[in-house]
Structure 1
């Protein structure tokens, strides 16, 4: 059930169970409940991502209805930061100091997570499975309480660079990127992957998240004569870039970052015709792909969506993402058992060994250690055929040191 509370949203499920025999003297933990926090952009330029938090909330509804985690239900508190770093800091303080959550989970965006990282580590509160692939969030030596989840942006960029260098050795590449760690990580990875062919990048154009449109950047990049258009942008701007390139007749091979390859949230607004031929990466199954029609994981996801999130967009990859990252959090809490100290929860998060999820592409697993905070380091390339994504090639690993 969704309800507005003050400056944010509380997404919470509250089935009660009989009290456990031992009282829990730990922040965010009682005999019957585990309270975890979340910060998401329900408003602002990245509001398309709010679907992730809504899916997570729905998944915890499911978990709670089925008895919770080791006898405790999950109280999921999710607040809006509008994709604004100062607001993220305000909401993090509220969650930690007022709500006294056990941890903050899936806080979204590179700018927001950068803003709260120092505070979370100073307070020694887990900042787990953050919703950004910025490479900086996999550095336990500098920030031991902060851990990513999705493949990091640098690895993703490397994969694109290697593919272009191999398949399009005479390409001229133009890159549009968000002017922050997100865009810069991907751009650096692209150039790393190109290796001694990094001079194939003939034009770059950055944008700020406060800008309303990126049309001028796309026009500028087309004028460079590039025949490969790489868009390292968040959903709103990625959709604008795809649409504008089509409008001005830029017949280039287009690559779009994994975070912006949702058919429902990006490609449909941009236009499916304009999106045909796009290249991106995947690590989760595409629920629109008929090859998964008889897959049990896909069947379970569809049943979940129908029962717990009927208003959710089944075309949006953000729902499969939210579903899968919520399963990861449940796995960590389940492994922690009744020892729900912040220290032990962090230990479990950093001790995943060959953990797979129902919606992972076959052959993919999660692994973490005390020195490796990147749970997912494998991806597969895919191409949009006008209706759905089709994967091609092999699963590619792209490990990056912390």
Structure 2
């Protein structure tokens, strides 16, 4: 099992609570080294398996923590970040988390990778009282647990943003959904179905696929026969590239939409110019924005990992790591004991914060919807992306639906 560890810095907020397994040691929690002013956090990441390029997310998160250490963002405190490979397999994600807790004594999970993977870890996290900040996934289940603070939106909200754009901006009447047959895709389908129902419309098609799918011939034949004008795909970068290649082979002429994390140079490497014209919902500011937080991402990753593309994918990892930095800063500023329980309490006081590439991040008691709006960007020739619709709130019928 691959392991990475390094020192980084972070920040958090506090207040103690009575959560199962959280309020044991009010002096400090595991992962807090008062003598050396170090906090240890961990994550699982797919160095092997079907999506090894997702490790870009973890390298960006690592870069964020190193940047925080170097800039003394935590007023003398450093972050020790430990990661292990889980092969993108949920059962291994649970095993990795157990190892991080029992061997590395982590204070929290920070920017762990994978929707199904993060969801699978929740029962164990609840058992031991382990906070999870910035899970890099979009399942509905991640918003229903007090220990979990997602920066990413529920993929159902993003799918609804895509569908809203297809209806109101692209003026499409027949929209199809291709969804990965796991927590990622099912969450997207939930939002898609809710907005379809509230709009009193029906999907042209709604078809699941497996994460390792490379041939979308039967899917695209059904979509073509349904005369879909727009296809919304919720799956990996590799899935999107494979579907686009199949569509070209079958001469399907419809427009394509996909989630934010596929609006990245890594997808261009897989799909080439077939990606041109594809639309993406995005909760992140453009990577080229003249913003201090985003510039820090570009400069730091460019220095530490010059071979990694500077794109939305990396900014996603950086921003989710930034959530822990922001949270631990709040915890330190509160003056409360550095416990997991107090970290959870203080996270629920975060309001309208800038976190990496995200804006207006807010958490409340019983409301862990950190990101609350998205824009639409489009792939253009030359491997670049542009904002084509400004940020606006998610469709209310989906955003306010009970999870």
- After superposition, the CA RMSD in angstroms is 2.3
Q: Which runs of 5+ in 1 are unaligned?
A: 1-6, 16-23
Structure 2 length normalisation: TM-score?
0.86
1:377 Cα deviation from its structure 2 partner: 1.3
Distance 2:131 2:8 in 1: 23
Residues 244 and 148 of structure 1: CA distance in aligned 2, closer, same or farther (over 3 Å): same
**1:368 match: secondary structure:** coil
1:235-285, Cα deviation, whole Å (9 max, x unpaired): 2111211222123221101111223221x111331112x112111112223
Aligned to 1:244: 246
Aligned to 1:284: 284
From 369, 378, 384, the counterpart of 2:364: 369
Aligned to 1:302: 298
- 8 Å CA contact 1:152, 1:377 repeated in 2: no
From 62, 69, 72, the counterpart of 1:64: 69
Distance 2:215 2:240 in 1: 10
Q: Does 1:8 align with 2:2?
A: yes
Q: Superposition pairs for residues 79-158 of structure 1, below 5 Å? A: 79-139=84-144, 143-158=145-160
1:17-67, Cα deviation, whole Å (9 max, x unpaired): xxxxxxx74200112211001011111122221101011112222222334
Count of residue correspondences: 376
Aligned to 1:21: none
- 8 Å CA contact 2:112, 2:135 repeated in 1: yes
Distance 1:57 1:174 in 2: 37
- 8 Å CA contact 2:378, 2:386 repeated in 1: yes
**1:365 match: secondary structure:** strand
Q: Superposition pairs for residues 183-332 of structure 1, below 5 Å? A: 183-197=185-199, 199-262=201-264, 264-272=265-273, 274-288=274-288, 292=289, 294-314=290-310, 316-332=311-327
Residues 198 and 383 of structure 1: CA distance in aligned 2, closer, same or farther (over 3 Å): farther
Comparing both chains, which one has the higher relative contact order based on Cα–Cα distances under 8 Å and sequence gaps of 6 or more?
2
From 79, 90, 98, the counterpart of 1:74: 79
1:219-241, Cα deviation, whole Å (9 max, x unpaired): 43223322211111112111211
